[in-house]
Chains A and B, each alone.
Chain A
């Protein structure tokens, strides 16, 4: 799990290069960072897919708006 958290932070840093990423990211969501707008959100999820080597379906992808959503959906992906 800790490893997953690190990977998510990495994806955040890679996507939002101009923003400072807080240490605690668990409550972070769309709109909290200047670069995390709707397009930024799209880029972030693509980066998450790359880092975790997975693919979210259109419905899931369109519903992800926060770190919490990302973690939950990554879990669902694992359970399959």
Chain B
């Protein structure tokens, strides 16, 4: 299990006992440093899920001294804090969330001619932080003022609380702050949603296609049609970030395809859509089937439909699917979609942009499979071409992404970050696997890290594979590559550990189907203390060994 603890510190008091902090996390898991002690967090060596540092600029700079304001001195203060933060990021891999507020007093007359001191300092600080974030992937930045403007700046701060207890926030402010921090914590903990299920009539366009006809649906530059156009632009942006679009609509499929192919004003085109579930079946039945077709869990689906009855049905029958209740006014939809945190991720990789094509390839792979009686001859016919890829600066982001996201085919589900992976890569044997076949280039789909224990064992520290290429026995090919490495080093056994999670049963059956033998940890007789430490940590795990003299099944598919 991941560490759940969160440690907060701030330049002002944060009212630790306030119930509204429960919006961030269970109070058992949240701790606060002494009032004003941000260095306590920046110097802390405890392992936490995240350290949160909140900086209210007026606590650092004397914003009232505008007349003899010495920008150099103030900027130096910020630079010093920046150095502290950078040192903390170098020494400690815990996530660090730095929150900044200008806590502004605005005089419209003065600020119409002069930039506010705090504004200058804040801009400088924020820029410094974003530059650090490019270097350190465990740094996250929150502009508190931006959050609070949405809810009413004056409601979120309470100067009375500051005078009486040195807390700058109001109780409402704590609530809003805690809820927003939780969004970041959640995304650190859980992967984002993967599929957007969209209705068509009165969702993708105005009007009912079956009744109004393609000429009369509302989409384009005028009035209501413009709102739908903007919504489609938002959908397109979501799609570009790697989310799959599927149309789930009670309509004639031919008509809908026709609109996507031929209607001039449409932003969402035929190529943007991964699959059509356009028919007269109940939507939840379509969605269930889709989950099988794409081999994606229902919890990665988000359903958007203007019709409350359809939404209720999906909610009722498929509890795992996130159902969005769209705002009554279409004008707010594009903002609502773009701000929906389920789809947001911290970084978008090159692979994300290829997602739509890759899943389409998978769907056609699965649909074509039954045409061949013999699975092997089918797999041979699609010309599978795996290749090994090194971990380096250009591939690390994909490696980390897979490490953080892969749930199903993942033997140990250890979530490494970039620094950790680079470290492991230095001392051990690590590689990525790229796969292409006649359905296209699937990109990098697997990560393997091996640790040599002694002359007898080589330990599989990490073996994970993207679920979208399952069914090609690529895992067997990879095992064979591991075997080759072991044989070269004259090592007799490949040692695997299976740590059970809710979703990785498939990795266990891989071991069982590929000539691995289960063994008790005592029988392993391990001498290497480091490895002993690594593998005995987890309770719910099984150990397996593979004798390198044995054959790996199914690899003839890959032989030319």
A-side residues, CB < 8 A to B, are 14, 39, 42-43, 46-47, 49-50, 57-58, 61-62
Contacts and interface: CB of A to CB of B under 8 A. Distances in A.
Contacts of A14: 19
B169 to A, nearest CB: 11
Contacts of A62: 164
B171 interface: yes
B160 A50 contact: no
B411 to A, nearest CB: 44
Nearest to A46: B171
A58 B17 CA distance: 21
Given A39-B165, A46-B171, A50-B171, A58 B19 contact: no
B171 A42 contact: no
Given A42-B15, A42-B165, A61-B164, 13 more contacts: A14-B19, A39-B17, A42-B164, A43-B15, A43-B18, A46-B18, A46-B171, A47-B19, A49-B171, A50-B171, A58-B163, A58-B164, A62-B164
B156 to A, nearest CB: 14
Among A14, A46, A49, A62, which residue has the most Cβ atoms of chain B within 10 A?
A46
A4 B420 CA distance: 57
Main secondary structure of the interface of B (DSSP, over half): helix
A54 to B, nearest CB: 13
Interface residues on chain B, size class: 10 to 19
A57 B17 contact: no
A60 B364 CA distance: 72
Nearest to A49: B171
A contacts with B: majority SS: helix
Contacts of B165: 39, 42
A50 B160 CA distance: 15
Interface in B158-184: 160-161, 163-165, 171
A61 B160 contact: yes
Residue in A49, A57, A61 with the greatest tally of chain B CB atoms within 10 Å: A61
A17 B512 CA distance: 53
Contacts of A61: 160, 164
Contact of A58 (B15, B160, B171): B160
Contacts of A42: 15, 164-165
Contact of B160 (A39, A43, A47, A57): A57
Interface string B267-307: 00000000000000000000000000000000000000000
A50 B389 CA distance: 59
A17 to B, nearest CB: 9
Nearest to B167: A42
A61 B18 CA distance: 17
B167 to A, nearest CB: 8
A61 B160 CA distance: 9
A39 B17 CA distance: 9
B273 to A, nearest CB: 48
Contacts of B15: 42-43, 46
Contacts of B163: 58
23 contacts: A14-B19, A39-B17, A39-B165, A42-B15, A42-B164, A42-B165, A43-B15, A43-B17, A43-B18, A46-B15, A46-B18, A46-B161, A46-B171, A47-B19, A49-B171, A50-B171, A57-B160, A58-B160, A58-B163, A58-B164, A61-B160, A61-B164, A62-B164
A49 to B, nearest CB: 8
A58 B19 CA distance: 22
Interface in B122-170: 160-161, 163-165
B258 to A, nearest CB: 56
A39 B171 CA distance: 15
Contacts of B18: 43, 46
Interface in B1-40: 15, 17-19
A24 to B, nearest CB: 26
Ranked nearest first, the 5 interchain pairs of A and B with the lowest CB-CB distance are A58-B160, A42-B165, A46-B171, A43-B17, A62-B164
A61 B159 CA distance: 13
A44 to B, nearest CB: 11
B275 to A, nearest CB: 48
A49 B160 CA distance: 13
A14 B19 CA distance: 9
Contacts of B161: 46
Interface string B346-373: 0000000000000000000000000000
